[in-house]
Amino acid sequence: MTQLIPGPDGRPRCRWSAAAPEFIAYHDKEWGFPVGDDRRLFEKLCLESFQSGLSWRTILAKRENFRAAFQGFDFEKVARFTDADVERLLGDAGIVRHRGKIEAVVNNAKRACELAARDGSLAAYLWRYEPGADELAEPQTVSTSPASTRLSKALKAQGWKFVGPTTVFAFMQAMGLLNDHAQGCAIRAEADRARAAFEPPRTRA
């Protein structure tokens, strides 16, 4: 089966972008474009963990609710959440009410604070794991990679939760640490240009 499908404007796009109407804008404007903002990176790691066992359509539809529930994914604020906040969120019908995943966000916010304090920013740490050209598989043919496995292990060693290699690979795809748009997708070249112009944040010396 081809990885491409015509979009609303007739241009070819990754097949998955046609799975739901709201996927087109996400595919064209976000997925695969490099991100250096700490909050957005933390948000995506959290949302990917919530997606585990669910569809991305479910999570994307609730994204604004998640942002409201978790203080815009400002990890310094989320790190101060208490048990009472967890109970409050378990009653929030606008998000996925899974205790383990909610508690993982709070835990991971504390770990993100530690990384940012040590390395200057969460982004600086995460972009150290950008895969090299020699370890990139053909686009959309794998669900993990050597780089996602390394990052997953590193995060787990520092106490992060719900950051398995598959979750981390989906995060890396979405945040532009690699360009996994299908060959021939009209957006692939745009993502390539954005990545070429992007300067990854540097770890504090």
Indicate which residues carry an active-site annotation: 26, 48, 56
- Residue 181, marked binder: yes
At 190, the amino acid letter reads: E
What is the SS3 assignment for 106?
A: helix
Q: Is 98 annotated to bind ligand?
A: no
Q: Are 32 and 196 in contact (CB under 8 A)?
A: no
Dist. CA 104–CA 39, nearest whole Å: 16
Q: Residue 27, annotated ligand binder?
A: yes
Looking at residue 113, its amino acid is C
Instruction: Identify the H or E element spanning 150.
Output: helix 146-157
* Residue 46 is labelled as binding a ligand: no
Question: Contact at 8 Å (CB) between 176 and 195?
Answer: yes
What residues does 6 pair with on adjacent strands?
A: 12
Helix (H, G, I), strand (E, B) or coil at 25: helix
Close Cβ partners of 32 (under 8 Å, ≥ 6 residues apart): 173, 174, 176, 178, 179, 180, 181, 187, 188, 191
173, 179 contact by CB (below 8 A): no
- Residues annotated in a binding site: 14, 27, 181, 185
- Residues annotated in a binding site for Zn(2+): 14, 27, 181, 185
